[in-house]
Amino acid sequence: MMTAYTDSSIQIIKQTPSFPSNLEPFTQAAAREALRFHRSIPEYRETDLVSLPNTAMIHHVGGIFVKDESTRFGLKAFKGLGGSYSMFRILCEKLSLDHRTADYNTFLNEDIRSQCQKIEFVTATDGNHGKGVSWAAKLFGCRAHVLMPKGTVEARRSAIEEAGAAEAEISDLNYDQTVQLAAALAEKNGWILIQDTAWDGYETIPTWIIQGYLTMLEETFEQMSGLIPTHVFLQAGVGAMAGGLTAYLMNRFQENRPAVAIVEPKAADCVFQSVSAGDGNAHSLIGDPVTIMAGLNCGTPCKVVWPFLRGCPTFFCACDDTVTESGMRAYAHPAGNDPVVVSGESGAVTYGLLLEILSSDELRNLFEICSDSVILLVNTEGATDPIGYKRVIQG
């Protein structure tokens, strides 16, 4: 049974979750394996879990925590986790290495490094994934080609090239079409497609990418020292990160599962629209969506995580751009002594939505938020578009 809420800036669906009997491969064991690899990278640093106690007190909740990925590997986004771990798994398979015992140090071997120099990757991205792939290619001594959809700002393209070993170009296609072009170029040129969405016949590499993202939550729950969130808000573009993290949460906290809310831009709400259809299938959006949330501007849900993305969350939310702008400003100008969080357009939409919920008795009741609620957010990116960030914050 679904409950709907709609106003001028937010649409919400509430459902009774249904959990698949098998939540693999996004388990705590997979998260620990990814974290083991990431810790072997010299640039690895655990990102902060930020507490916002003054905001929590003002809004009468038990706690608000933000896993802040704006500093991850110096890339201003979490995507380096998936790019590096999947590239590690691909190279281990290609070079006949055991991924269970190998780590980054294995790839410092001169012979292995020389073999990596002959390998080229290709991907499509709206920004942060491509930056993660570029950085990972430099890490392993490979090369990469990155294609970006039309409407991408130049700052995001140049940041990809500056991050590592990739050539990046902006196409005249939408996101889904750019993914198709990347796949075609991989087949034509003998490159390896390293894409963070999936379809029939292309599922293994996206699975490795998503397992890499699990490092965020493995770190988070070490930092929370036994505290379990009651509510978790996760952004979705294709939903790879959101679906993988949701499966991990449902697996880890089987006796005390948090309510998960999936949050998207209204203009590119492929998960919301797929759930709304009510037939259990993933559906693609038509046309060229326009939203400032570039990292979430995607038209087709990721096949690998769709079973978890469809059934496990309690809420599906589609938000106007004004909601993420409010979140960006609230992070930048916090209440009382709460720390400043630098959050870009795709990173702040969950916080903007949360503040809307906390300010409305109707929405608090819908989300069953009370004085004991412990709320977890993920700031997925920092100011990846510095000009756009400045415009929003000053506005």
- Active site includes 103? no
What's the CA gap between 310 and 69, in Å, rounded? 25
What's the CA gap between 81 and 207, in Å, rounded? 13
- Catalytic residue (choose from 68, 126, 320, 338): 126
What's the CA gap between 226 and 245, in Å, rounded? 18
CA-to-CA separations, 210 to 5, 190, 385, in angstroms, rounded: 30, 24, 24
Q: Is 115 helix (H, G, I), strand (E, B) or coil?
A: helix
What are the residue ranges of helices labelled H in 74-120? 80-94, 110-116
What's the CA gap between 160 and 6, in Å, rounded? 37
For 146-201, give the secondary structure using H, E and C. EEECCCCCHHHHHHHHHHCCEEEEECCCCHHHHHHHHHHHHHHHCCEECCCCCECC
Cis amide leading into 25 (omega within 30): yes
- Catalytic residue (choose from 79, 131, 266, 303): 79
The residue among 310, 290, 308 whose CA lies nearest residue 298 is 290
What's the CA gap between 74 and 229, in Å, rounded? 28
**Tokens 């198709």 found at:** 180
Q: Any idea of the CA torsion for 350, 353, 358, 360, to the nearest 10 degrees?
A: -160
The residue among 363, 266, 379 whose CA lies nearest residue 322 is 266
What's the CA gap between 214 and 210, in Å, rounded? 7
- Active site includes 266? no
Residue 143: φ, ψ to 5°: -120, 160
What's the CA gap between 215 and 203, in Å, rounded? 20
Rg, Å, the chain Cα set: 20
Catalytic residues: 79, 126
